[in-house]
Amino acid sequence: MYGYFYDLTIESCDCSKEIQAEMEKKAIKRAYSDKDLFSESSDGESDEEAAVARKKKQSVPIRKYSETFLAFAFSESEDYKTPRPLCLICGIILPNSFMKASKLRRHFMNKHADLSGKPLSYFEKRLEAHRLRQKSKSE
């Protein structure tokens, strides 16, 4: 009647008739509120399209690279418009949302735990080697 989810929860419920009636009222109310959310607006654009447009307008924070990320073997990738972290060990480029010390540390500890005792100079050498490879590729 109200969809598969409704049939699963209310019809197969081993609870009293009062609770089933209350659940049915809530399901009906939810069905009508969902229908109202996606109805046509006065300008011809559906509310669903307006919601998608609003979501696109919301800006996602763009995180910036910090030199402290080198301690976790991460450098900034220059291949994209937004800065993205590049792992100097495995070469993976993570999304901008991973430009947090905690997420980079988690990658480093999960994937490269054997390198956790290395000094910062080791990662600086890896960074220089990476930059030289990039420079030789561009020439």
Which tens digit of pLDDT belongs to each residue from 66-125? 999 999 999 998 877 889 999 999 999 999 999 999 999 999 999 999 999 999 999 999
16: left (phi over 0), alpha (psi -120 to 50) or beta: beta
Q: Model-level pTM?
A: 0.57
Please, which residues bridge with residue 79 across strands? none
The answer to whether the beta carbons of residues 99 and 68 sit under 8 Å apart is: no
pLDDT digits (tens, 9 = 90+) for 8-46: 455 555 667 777 778 787 777 776 655 554 544 445 556
Type of residue numbered 63: R
Packing angle of the helix pair 47-57, 17-37 (nearest 10 deg): 70
